[in-house]
A and B are shown apart, each in its own frame.
Chain A
Amino acid sequence: DGGITQSPKYLFRKEGQNVTLSCEQNLNHDAMYWYRQDPGQGLRLIYYSQIVNDFQKGDIAEGYSVSREKKESFPLTVTSAQKNPTAFYLCASSIGTGGQSTDTQYFGPGTRLTVL
């Protein structure tokens, strides 16, 4: 089955530690995204990537970093510089090729990060 996987589903970290959230897709999509969702809130864009080896900051990139070395993978690192990292993190992907009509974003199941 094609889709997006995120691991782990729940993640706990101590304050001051970096942690990396995994996102993998087998949809052959070019574009991938990371969002943060706080309780009762909407989605805020952290980073996005439209092609391998390229990515752009979203609205709340401070304290986060990403890499896009492979088309199917877009890991997110939450660094110790992120002041309030406890949240639900969602990864998404879309076809994303230039010149196409606007297309749908497909989401993974999310990772809930809790800082202890």
Chain B
Amino acid sequence: GNSVTQMEGPVTLSEEAFLTINCTYTATGYPSLFWYVQYPGEGLQLLLKATKADDKGSNKGFEATYRKETTSFHLEKGSVQVSDSAVYFCALTLYNFNKFYFGSGTKLNVKP
């Protein structure tokens, strides 16, 4: 089947630390991969995406590379800020399928 597995949180970092949130997937076809961010009390916002192997999605200093050989899409940021504190969701969808599969979310807390 199709599923997404994320590292459990919460992840607590000091400001300017390096961030990695792991995401691995299983898919019956060739998926597109996404990272969404959710701030407290709000909906999800698209952070970045990648649609084919070796693509790198990037936005606001965050990056993730689509690794088909390891079925992974890990989220990274070189220097986190307090404002990055949120819950991050990894997700996949399949071509012409329109159904999304979300991970359980990883909460990030950044301390000043």
Contacts and interface: CB of A to CB of B under 8 A. Distances in A.
Residue among A4, A41, A102 with most chain B CB within 10 A: A102
A107 interface: yes
A100 B103 CA distance: 24
Interface in B28-56: 31-32, 34, 36, 41-46, 49, 51
A113 interface: no
Interface string A83-100: 000000010101010111
Interface in A47-85: 48, 50
A41 B9 CA distance: 11
B42 A105 contact: no
Contacts of B60: none
B45 to A, nearest CB: 7
Interface residues of A, number: 28
Contacts, number: 59
Which secondary structure dominates where chain B touches chain A? strand
Contact of B43 (A40, A94, A110): A110
Contact of A42 (B42, B49, B95, B102): B102
A45 B96 CA distance: 18
Interface of A: 4, 6, 31, 33, 40-43, 45, 48, 50, 90, 92, 94, 96, 98-102, 104-110, 112
8 contacts: A41-B104, A45-B100, A102-B94, A105-B91, A105-B93, A109-B42, A110-B42, A112-B41
